[in-house]
C-alpha cells in the first residue's frame, strides 16, 4: 500500500487564510444581506497598470503570428526581463547583481518554499515570530521540524520574537543558526529594517556560515529614503543572502503571477564532504528540472513595469494603497487603539482591544462590523493579541470599514 509523507500530519488543522475564508463564508451564508469588507488577505483590488495591460495585449498578438509565436521559454526567464530587473531594481541602487543571477518565477510564495529543495535536512532554521506562515509550514512539510507545542511552535525551529517591546526588531540570535528567514518590510507587522540592522545580520551570517533568505516582496512601499530596499545594499550580502521579490503587490500581479529570486553566483554552502558548492548551480538545476517558466505574455507585462509609463503607473498604485494605510493608521489611532506599521508597508498591525484574543477579535469584528482582518496568532505565538489589517482595497471600502470599527471599538 502507498504511504504518505507523515510530515504533513504535523501541520496545524488549517492554513491561516483558508481558515479565515471558512469563517467568513459561514458568516456570509448565515447573513446574506451583510456587506462584508475584506481587509484580511493581502490581495490587491485595483486594475493592472495600463502599460502592463497594453504589453499583454501585444504579447497575445505575438502569439497569434508564426514569426513571433513563443513556445517553451527559458526556465530562468527571458533575458530582456532579467536585464530590466537587474538594471532598475539593483544596479540603480548600487547593488552588483547581474541579469543571470535573477530567476523569474510564478510567485515568491512558491520560491520561499521551493528554495528548501537545495538545502540539507540538518540545518538549524530561524524564523521571526510572528512570521509569514509559508516559511514555517514548508519546513514542516520537508521534515525539518518536530511537532508543534500548545502555542503552535514547532520543535527544531529557532523563533525570534518581534513585538512592541523590542520595537519589532529581529534580534540577532545568541546561538548559531544556518538558515534565516527575514522579511522586510515585514509581513505581518509592517516593520522595517535599517541599514545598521541588516548590516548586523549580514555580519552574523558571514561569521557563522549562515544563509539569509530575504523576502523583499514589499520593498516598493518604502518611502523613507534612509531604509534599504534590498539586502544587497549591505556590503558582503552577496556572500550570504538569497533575495525574493514579487510583482504581486508592487504592480497588482496577484492574479497573473510573476516574481523573481536572486541567487548570487558568489553564494556557496557546504556539501557533506566539506566542499563549497555554488548555490546558483543547484537552483538553476532545480528550476530547469521542476519548472517550465512563466508565460511569455506575463513576462512582457512584467517588463512593462520598467517602462516610463509603467513606472509612473506603479508609483501611483503604491501611493493609493499607502494612502489607504494612512487612513487606517490615523482612524484607529484616533480611536485609541495601539497601531504599528502602515508607514513603509501596506499592513497595519493593531493591538487587540479589550483584552480580546486575536481570533476572538476576528470573530467580533466580523460579526459586529462585517469587516475581515487577519488574527495575529495565525502568524505565530508572538502574534497573539495583535491583528493585521491590509490596505489593499478600494478607498470607499477602507473609509467605510474604519467608520464601522471606530464606532464599535473606540477606547
Per-residue pLDDT reduced to its tens digit, 226-283: 999 999 999 999 999 999 999 999 999 999 999 999 999 999 999 999 999 999 999 9
Q: Residues with Cβ < 8 Å from 364, sequence gap 6 or more?
A: 356
Per-residue pLDDT reduced to its tens digit, 5-51: 999 999 976 668 888 889 999 999 999 999 999 998 889 999 999 99
Q: How many residues in total does the chain contain?
A: 411
Q: How far is Cα 127 from Cα 51, in angstroms, rounded to an integer?
A: 37
Q: How far is Cα 130 from Cα 267, in angstroms, rounded to an integer?
A: 28
Q: Report how far apart, in Å, the C-alpha atoms of 386 and of each of 100, 259, 287, 340, 383 are.
A: 41, 29, 38, 10, 6
What is the structure's pLDDT at 264? 98
* Annotation: binding site for pyridoxal 5'-phosphate: 72, 108-109, 132, 187, 218, 246-248, 257, 292
Q: Which residue has the cell 511569455?
A: 296
Per-residue pLDDT reduced to its tens digit, 314-339: 999 999 999 999 999 999 999 999 99
What is the structure's pLDDT at 102? 98
What is the structure's pLDDT at 13? 61
* Annotation: binding site for substrate: 15, 42, 109, 132, 187, 292, 388
Per-residue pLDDT reduced to its tens digit, 157-199: 999 999 899 999 999 999 999 999 999 999 999 999 999 999 9
Residues above pLDDT 90, as percent of the chain: 94
Phi, psi (5° rounding) for residue 313?
-70, -40
* Annotation: binding site: 15, 42, 72, 108-109, 132, 187, 218, 246-248, 257, 292, 388
Asked if 121 and 142 touch (Cβ cutoff 8 Å), the reply is yes
Mean pLDDT of 130-159: 94
- Cis previous bond, 197, omega within 30: no
What is the structure's pLDDT at 152? 87
Phi, psi (5° rounding) for residue 41?
-60, 135
Q: Is the pLDDT of residue 357 over 90?
A: yes
What is the structure's pLDDT at 89? 98
- Cell numbers at 24, concatenated: 467568513
Split at pLDDT 50, 70, 90, the class of 350 is very high
Amino acid at each position: 500500500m502507498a504511504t504518505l509523507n507523515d510530515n504533513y500530519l504535523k501541520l496545524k488543522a488549517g492554513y491561516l487564510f483558508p481558515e479565515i475564508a471558512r469563517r467568513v463564508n459561514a458568516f456570509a451564508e448565515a447573513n446574506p444581506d451583510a456587506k462584508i469588507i475584506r481587509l484580511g488577505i493581502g490581495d490587491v483590488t485595483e486594475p493592472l497598470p495600463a502599460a502592463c495591460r497594453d504589453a499583454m495585449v501585444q504579447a497575445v498578438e505575438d502569439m497569434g503570428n508564426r514569426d513571433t509565436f513563443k513556445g517553451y521559454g527559458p526556465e530562468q526567464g527571458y533575458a530582456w526581463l532579467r536585464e530590466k530587473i537587474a538594471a532598475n531594481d539593483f544596479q540603480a541602487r548600487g547593488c552588483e547583481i547581474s541579469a543571470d543571477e535573477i530567476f523569474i518565477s510564478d510567485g515568491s510564495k512558491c520560491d520561499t518554499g521551493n528554495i528548501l529543495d537545495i538545502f540539507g535536512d540538518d540545518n538549524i532554521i530561524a524564523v521571526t515570530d510572528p512570521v509569514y506562515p509559508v516559511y514555517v509550514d514548508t519546513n514542516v512539510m520537508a521534515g525539518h521540524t518536530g511537532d508543534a507545542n500548545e502555542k503552535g511552535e514547532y520543535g527544531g525551529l529557532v523563533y525570534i520574537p518581534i513585538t512592541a517591546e523590542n520595537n519589532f526588531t529581529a534580534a540577532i540570535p545568541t546561538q548559531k543558526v544556518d538558515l534565516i528567514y527575514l522579511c522586510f518590510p515585514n509581513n505581518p507587522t509592517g516593520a522595517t529594517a535599517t541599514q545598521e540592522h541588516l548590516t548586523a545580520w549580514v555580519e552574523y551570517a558571514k561569521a557563522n556560515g549562515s544563509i539569509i533568505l530575504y523576502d523583499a516582496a514589499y520593498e516598493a512601499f518604502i518611502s523613507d529614503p534612509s531604509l534599504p530596499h534590498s539586502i544587497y545594499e549591505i556590503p558582503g550580502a552577496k556572500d550570504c543572502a538569497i533575495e525574493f521579490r514579487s510583482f504581486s503587490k508592487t504592480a497588482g500581479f496577484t492574479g497573473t503571477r510573476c516574481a523573481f529570486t536572486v541567487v548570487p553566483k558568489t553564494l556557496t554552502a557546504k556539501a557533506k564532504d566539506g566542499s563549497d558548492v555554488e548555490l546558483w548551480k543547484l537552483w538553476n538545476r532545480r528550476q530547469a528540472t521542476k519548472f517550465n517558466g512563466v508565460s511569455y505574455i506575463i513576462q512582457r507585462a512584467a517588463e512593462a513595469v520598467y517602462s516610463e509609463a509603467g513606472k509612473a503607473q506603479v508609483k501611483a498604485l503604491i501611493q493609493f494603497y499607502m494612502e489607504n494605510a494612512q487612513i487606517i493608521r490615523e482612524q484607529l489611532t484616533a480611536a485609541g487603539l495601539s497601531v504599528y506599521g502602515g508607514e513603509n508597508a501596506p499592513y497595519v498591525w493593531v493591538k487587540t482591544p479589550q483584552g480580546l484574543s486575536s481570533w476572538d477579535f476576528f470573530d467580533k469584528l466580523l460579526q459586529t462590523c462585517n469587516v475581515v482582518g487577519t488574527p495575529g496568532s495565525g502568524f505565530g505565538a508572538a502574534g497573539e493579541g495583535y491583528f493585521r489589517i491590509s490596505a489593499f482595497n478600494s478607498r470607499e471600502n477602507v473609509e467605510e470599514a474604519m467608520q464601522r470599527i471606530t464606532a464599535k471599538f473606540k477606547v
